Chain A
Amino acid sequence: MLRRALPAGILSLVIVLILVPYIWPQPILRQVLTEVGSTLLAYATVVGFLSFLEAHFRRVGARGEGWPYSLIAALTALAVLFLSLLEGGLVGPWTGWLYRYGLLPLEASLGALLPFFMVLALWRMLRARRSVYSLIFVAGVLAMLIIHSPGIPIPSLFGSFYETFLAPLATGGVRGLLMGVAVGVIVMVVRTLLWMDQPLGRR
């Protein structure tokens, strides 16, 4: 009984503590909660990093499928770790250089590919099924491509149409969805608070 009740009780207490600053503003409590969260995150990162290395080295040892990628991932992670330790943190010149000229360009390149993936998804959808909704989606993707195309006068012509007709519909739709998400979050918090759900997996 205690084994079940203790984690659920602690979770309910934490939920109440987190809600308190929203109802009764207490900067100190908010700061304490933030610090506790940051400390937890720091320890979890160490455990996560060790788990990451263990999983990848295990795959390399077993010569599982894709093991060369695992080897590269684990060795790169270790190299960055040692570099950070040598420079006393993640703000040193070499780690900064790696971040600026390695990680950021890679992520930006991947981000730049997303419109192509979007168009590819659209093409697949049109091959599989055509409906009114798919036409609206085609219009959306075309609008995105037109608005973000540099050096052509269409965006300025399209701009007023977008602001007058499309933006209110899109904003309204997104706001509706976000309100639905808020409902979902409130229900989840209340159910956890009342022990109807136990996200720690004990029931």
Chain B
Amino acid sequence: MTVGLLLLSVLLALLAARMARWIRIPPRELEPFRFIPRQVGRSLETGQPLHLALGSGGLVDSEAALTLSGGRTLERLARDVAAGEVPPFVTVADPVALLYARHVLQEAYRRQGIPSTVPPDRVGWMGASPMAYAAGLTLFLRTQPVAASVMSGRFREEGVLVGEISQRHGVRSIFTMPDPTGAAVLWPLDPALAVGEEAFAFSPQEEIPERPSALLLTHDLIRWLLTVLLVAAALGLALRG
């Protein structure tokens, strides 16, 4: 079953990478990801850094994928803001995620031909547990002016604490929440947040307007396939009695 699913995924990924060149339909709109480039521009214009919270997840545990969903956003942010002289703030709750975030930032600057290292306070370890992390973030958002705050990664109910504080201080917040609990508590703060699978749909590469990315196409293909299989299985069971 697992082997079959993996093979199917590989095939669909290759197919989507190929099809994306030929299909001419506009990619689906994901509000939070549409706002991120705008906030990057705002950060470069005002000179205020962006803030990215990678969540309370790590990179060695079973929920590493949730942290890496935020890692995609980090890669794109790091690359886009490296052109200016305002490195973003990245906050994490896991030491391996800290090293990862520092590496991604330094790599983005190295590619721009800027040899200087990223200041140590730009990537911060805010707390080792989810609640301590949320408490650290509230203090950070109170003392550090930022152009916008992106929360992307593993957040659960403690996310409402951070979201509420950032809104209270007038910080423009963008949420991409793979975890349903985090999405549920942050929904009143921003109903257009990216939920579940959508949080994985941010491409770290440049997208061409009016052309769907291979990433989104793969997501959609697998999603529709899964839906059809589930409906077929449910119908089959219902008809069998």
Contact = CB atoms under 8 A, between A and B. Distances in A.
A117 B17 contact: no
Contacts of A85: none
Contacts of B103: 200-201
B30 interface: no
8 tightest Cβ-Cβ pairs between the two chains A and B = A184-B200, A48-B95, A180-B197, A66-B143, A201-B107, A44-B95, A125-B188, A177-B196
Given A44-B99, A188-B69, A114 B158 contact: yes
Contacts of A38: 60
A111 B131 contact: yes
26 contacts: A38-B60, A48-B99, A58-B121, A66-B142, A69-B139, A103-B132, A107-B131, A113-B161, A114-B161, A124-B189, A137-B187, A176-B196, A181-B65, A183-B223, A184-B65, A184-B197, A184-B200, A186-B5, A187-B9, A187-B200, A188-B68, A188-B69, A188-B200, A190-B6, A197-B205, A201-B78
A162 interface: no
Contact of A121 (B9, B14, B160): B160
Contacts of B135: 110
B80 to A, nearest CB: 13
A184 B180 contact: no
Interface string B109-136: 0000000000011011100010110110
Interface stretch (B21-29, B33-41, B45-53, B213-221): B213-221
Contacts of A187: 9, 13, 200, 215, 218-219, 222
Contact of B14 (A47, A55, A194): A194
Nearest to A73: B136
Contacts of B214: 196
Contacts of A37: 60
Nearest to A109: B131
B199 A184 contact: yes
Nearest to B200: A184
A132 to B, nearest CB: 12
Contact of B125 (A23, A51, A196): A51
Given A199-B71, A199-B75, A185 B121 contact: no
A135 B204 CA distance: 36
Question: DSSP class of A's interface residues: helix, strand, loop or mixed?
Answer: helix
Contacts of A45: 95
Given A41-B58, A107-B129, 5 more contacts: A178-B196, A184-B219, A187-B218, A187-B219, A189-B65
Question: DSSP class of B's interface residues: helix, strand, loop or mixed?
Answer: helix
Interface residues of A, number: 64
A122 B186 CA distance: 10
A129 B187 CA distance: 12
A51 to B, nearest CB: 6
B107 A202 contact: yes
A174 interface: yes
Nearest to A120: B164
Residue of A22, A52, A134, A183 contacting most chain B CB atoms (<10 Å): A183
A54 interface: yes
A191 interface: yes
